Structure 1
């Protein structure tokens, strides 16, 4: 028997996939209607977290944050079976993941933080990526169950909380990436260029292919052989900002990047490769 606590978009996808594979799953959600919707697929809907975890050998969770995870686990505690394993797929703080791992171990239970890069369709189809780190013996025991839930489980080694940190780093990139696309669309709209033309450009020229080389260059800390000088990048940023403002569509992200460029130019790095803006972060 498996218990699943938190059956929002992601959790419900996981539950439906488990049920389709023949698992027995007891579910609970703060908004009862979301849990009740899974009854038609064969889930056993429970009124409380403690009821949901009764008889479960493994507990899965997808909640909002550290506070909700702590609250729900405490509410579920009276129903815990001896030695039960808790797999938490919530995006949380690093400190929270470390604290919960130690706390539940002291009480005789196993907590593993396993955040994901998965949307609802991935959860339903058992594709996407799941991250883990910590006690490698514990992870080895849990790995077969996690592998059935996702396309790939990435193990970041024995450091407890590292998976939480990697999830936050990945999400930061996704946020910055999406905000950059938003600014790009704002600029092209300002210039009277339709989004379809932008798609045509990226179909021919894929800037995403540059990511590994760009990251390697920035992490390497060598900026004295520029492929794009910081002064020139700042000039282009100024053109972008001016065009968008002229059309009454100010950009959100590029002005902050321009301010960072100005800071480095003032420090004498105008002729360096523009990736020098990462210098203090290494």
Structure 2
């Protein structure tokens, strides 16, 4: 009897295991080729803008991807969404205020930095070799806090954040350039502490007095005008952004995602709404996904999505003493 019972249990386990494997293999086909258009739009937007766009490219042509990515841009969705603010921490000694925020499908953190000239760009000490964790980049600069900044490209397939993408400026010097004199969207600060967003070439950095900068996007708010139509076409994911109020106050926003019991994530529209709620006159999306992180007082302040902890990245915006 005991032997038969043992065989029966093994058969049940084998049956369940087979079905789980079958479901896992079938899921991408249902997701990308199935009839669920709304689910497909969200999935393509989220995965294609992650570190594994090749997953989408394996199932869909570039024309199909482009069509889906742009499918929401023409929609005029009502942008007003209530953002709840709680648990305000004002640290007078460091000139920083931190607030918890919550939207329709996400939770996150907002950090306000009164003096914009204290915001610097930290760059990995070993460009081309390896990136660093945000907590290490903050420590390198003897800073109080920091968020992940620009993206990176991966020519060696190591995924270790060694090569910042686009133009990277630190302390007024161009420290990395993989686009030659092509035009890219600049996210940075000039020598007056103003957040500068817009297309620029490497040769234009000096004439615009750019002190700290990375390349990323898209822009969310420019000169007080919202720039995102529809939901932005990038799906729902963890997000990081930086903005500035009219009085110069810098706004860091980090939104958690891909954690169904905590926070699903945000669209670009959601991220823009947060900055609008904080009266930003300029704001931009930074690298997101598993890179999204806020460090304060030597600790990670948000809930990371990556089970392996902090990701190795090339750059971070930090708040210096």
Note whether the superposition's TM-score is higher than 0.5.
Answer: no
Q: Per residue, is there more strand in 1 or in 2? A: 2
> Which is richer in helix?
1
Task: Between the two structures, name the one with larger relative contact order (CA 8 Å, sep ≥ 6).
Answer: 2
The TM-score, its normalising length taken from structure 2, stands at: 0.19
Higher-Rg structure is 1
